[in-house]
Amino acid sequence: SSSPLHHSVHTPLRPPFPMKLLAATLLLFLLSSTPSLAAESKLQIGVLKRPESCPRKVAKGDGVAVQYEGKLLDGTTFDSSYKRNQAFRFKVGAGSVIKGWDQGLLGMCVGEVRKLTIPSHLAYGDRGSPPTIPPGATLKFKIELEEIDGFKLEL
């Protein structure tokens, strides 16, 4: 004798194929119609000035000296090494700066100027850095590489 329970084991109920197609189409539509979500979650790197020659590029573990200006998306400057007239020194990839810097300086040449747009999760996250950087802030930096482990551009 065949019980309903036993019967359903052999022929499991599945949603009809068009339902899957509809779900996939809807998902693609949602993803394609919200490009800002994808763009805002990635580090964006723009080159503002590229030197004529680049005998040495930044690699993980390099000590670097940079001049920088940091701004919020509304244009408010929250930090600037230019105002202090002193380069900021740190080791790339050591976790001593925000992740967006550790990633955004890789491959950079001495004399190069980059514009980094750093999403919150690669900056200060949901905590922010009170009082100057609000929680969840995307940050923009203009960074000029002056030196890599003692290697400077001879002017």
What positions carry a catalytic annotation?
68, 78-79, 98, 124, 141
The dihedral built from the CA positions of residue 62, 63, 68 and 72, taken in this order, carries a sign that is positive
- Whether 117 contacts 43, CB under 8 Å: yes
DSSP 44-78: EEEEEE--S--S-B--TT-EEEEEEEEEETTS-EE
For 127, other C-beta atoms within 10 Å of its C-beta total 10
- Whether 71 contacts 143, CB under 8 Å: no
Backbone torsion region of residue 112, taken as left when φ is above 0, otherwise alpha when ψ lies between -120 and 50, otherwise beta: beta
- Write out the two tokens for 126: 């949901």
